[in-house]
Amino acid sequence: MNINKKKLVGIILLTVFSTWFLTVGFLLWALDIDGTKLGNLSRFLGALKFIETRYVNTVDDTTVMNGAISGMVQALGDPHSIYLDSAMYRQLTEQVEGHFGGIGVYMGFKEGKVELISVIPDTPGERAGLLPNDEILAVNGVAVAEMQPEEVALNIRGEVGTEVNILVHRAGEEDKVYTIVRDTITVKTVAGRMLEGDLGYLRIAAFSENTGEEFATTYEALKKQGAKGIILDLRANPGGLVTSCVEVARHLVPAGNIVSVIDRDGDRQDFDSDLTAIELPLTVLIDGNSASAAEILAGALQDTHTATIVGTKSYGKGSVQTVIPLFHDDAVKLTIAKYYTPSGRSIDGIGIEPDVVVELPPNATSDEQLQKATAVLLGQISPGEEG
């Protein structure tokens, strides 16, 4: 009887351990965890356990895990990939929707510096006295050098009615801290007006959720006002939603490819236009702060010989990010693919070279780039008039 009991217990234990090993083995296989990954996972869990049991202060597991995820993403060395805690994730969502709590500035990120590209009229930033070309050195006491570009922008945004402290460097003046109360910033991304010579001027400040609709309305209004050609201003446009960019492009790019998105495995997604005829001659303005979706549009128009590109070389952000929600109202914004213009160009880290290069001096009293774009467009409408 005792022997049978021992055998039974042995069988049960063997079954339990076999089931455990099979389950663990299946999970390792399903998650594609090989020996190296298993070793790294063990190191991570060991470090986590050591922190939980030996760190001098009480440890909040969620805070530690947030830091681990953030560090993992930062280790990629990609400035466009970032961990978004719950506050940053909410702010990013509001920005895409076209309204958020902030101070009303557009920023450019280049060579480790953060400079103001423009200040939106009648916003807290303008009322505080911020100016284009101001360099932001720190936000709430944290140097921008210690943050990723996305973090700088998201830390300046925040709940309406709260304060943000920004340390600003302005040429010829001492560095100054501006304390600014955030307000609701509603961004209308498209604006247009008629210029002399029956030309329409159309500016896209960014590509948000409503940009496609705003563009269509403004574009049709300019045509009804008798526009014989369009100057499309994409300067200081940081990009945004690729889908909104494609909506705009389908009004301007002839039938065929607009952009192709290709991931690490070579899987390809094509976005096409079915526009049968180009309605109006077009020139496009770009500069060093035209990035991402703005470059997609400019590149498609250049490759299809639909527009003359005027200005200076664009930023060179040819990668595509997606936002992956996690389980605590947080998310990871991750680079997942690169985009290619209709001719197959990848401009990531390269930028788009304009057809007509026009530098804009720092202290220019007139918009020489716009003047040149106007002259080029008039020359297309009435050959011989370009000056």
Q: Which residues share a beta bridge with 163?
A: 181
pLDDT digits (tens, 9 = 90+) for 258-283: 999 999 999 999 999 999 999 999 99
Amino acid at 189: T
Distance CA 358, CA 78 (A): 31
Instruction: Please check whether residues 157 and 295 belong to one and the same domain.
Output: no
Instruction: Please check whether residues 225 and 319 belong to one and the same domain.
Output: yes
Residue with tokens 């190296």: 36
Distance CA 78, CA 148 (A): 9
Amino acid at 353: E
Within-domain flag for 339: yes
Q: Which of 70, 81, 292, 314 is catalytic?
A: 292
Residue with tokens 């500069």: 287
Within-domain flag for 344: yes
Q: Give every CB contact of residue 82 below 8 A, 6+ residues apart in sequence.
A: 70, 73, 74, 148, 150, 151, 332, 333
Within-domain flag for 79: no
Instruction: Please check whether residues 162 and 292 belong to one and the same domain.
Output: no
Instruction: Please check whether residues 127 and 233 belong to one and the same domain.
Output: no
Within-domain flag for 355: yes
Q: For residue 182, what is the domain's CATH number?
A: 2.30.42.10
Within-domain flag for 359: yes
Distance CA 199, CA 150 (A): 37
Instruction: Please check whether residues 10 and 107 belong to one and the same domain.
Output: no
pLDDT digits (tens, 9 = 90+) for 134-151: 999 999 999 998 887 778
Q: Which of 81, 260, 314, 317 is catalytic?
A: 317
Taking all residues of the chain, what is their mean pLDDT, rounded to a whole number? 87
Instruction: Reply yes or no on whether the pLDDT at 116 is more than 90.
Output: no
Instruction: Please check whether residues 60 and 137 belong to one and the same domain.
Output: no
Over the range 44-75, which residues count as b (16 or more CB within 10 Å of their CB) and which as e? eeeeeeeeeeeeeeeeeeeeeebeebbeebee
Active site residue 292: yes
Q: For residue 336, what is the domain's CATH number?
A: 3.90.226.10
Q: Which of 59, 74, 89 is the last residue of a domain?
A: 74
Instruction: Please check whether residues 336 and 273 belong to one and the same domain.
Output: yes
Q: Give the pLDDT band of residue 354 (cuts 50, 70, 90).
A: very high
Within-domain flag for 153: yes
Mapped onto helix, strand or coil, the DSSP state of residue 156 is helix
Q: Give the pLDDT band of residue 16 (cuts 50, 70, 90).
A: low
Of the two residues 386 and 52, the one the predictor is more confident about is: 52
Q: Report the run of H or E that residue 285 belongs to, with start and end.
A: strand 282-286
Structural domain range at position 31: 2-74
Within-domain flag for 386: no
Distance CA 64, CA 42 (A): 17
pLDDT digits (tens, 9 = 90+) for 71-92: 999 899 888 888 988 878 877 7
Query: Please, are residues 355 and 310 in contact by the beta-carbon 8 Å criterion?
Result: yes
Distance CA 74, CA 257 (A): 34
Instruction: Please check whether residues 49 and 109 belong to one and the same domain.
Output: no
Query: Please, are residues 248 and 239 in contact by the beta-carbon 8 Å criterion?
Result: no
Instruction: Please check whether residues 338 and 271 belong to one and the same domain.
Output: yes
Number of domains in the chain: 3
**268-273/163-169 β-pairing:** unpaired
Amino acid at 295: E
DSSP state of 144: G
Q: Which of 85, 134, 303, 330 is catalytic?
A: 303
Instruction: Reply yes or no on whether the pLDDT at 286 is more than 90.
Output: yes
The pair phi, psi for residue 224, each rounded to 5°, is: -65, -25
pLDDT digits (tens, 9 = 90+) for 301-335: 999 999 999 999 998 999 988 889 988 889 999 99
pLDDT digits (tens, 9 = 90+) for 95-104: 666 567 899 8
Instruction: Please check whether residues 262 and 357 belong to one and the same domain.
Output: yes
Amino acid at 174: E
Q: Which of 141, 159, 186 is the last residue of a domain?
A: 186
Instruction: Please check whether residues 69 and 195 belong to one and the same domain.
Output: no
Query: Please, are residues 52 and 59 in contact by the beta-carbon 8 Å criterion?
Result: yes
Instruction: Reply yes or no on whether the pLDDT at 343 is more than 60.
Output: yes
Active site residue 317: yes
Instruction: Reply yes or no on whether the pLDDT at 173 is more than 80.
Output: yes
Instruction: Please check whether residues 262 and 321 belong to one and the same domain.
Output: yes
Within-domain flag for 84: no
Query: Please, are residues 286 and 312 in contact by the beta-carbon 8 Å criterion?
Result: yes
pLDDT digits (tens, 9 = 90+) for 174-201: 999 999 999 988 778 899 999 999 999 9
Q: Which of 186, 219, 243 is the last residue of a domain?
A: 186
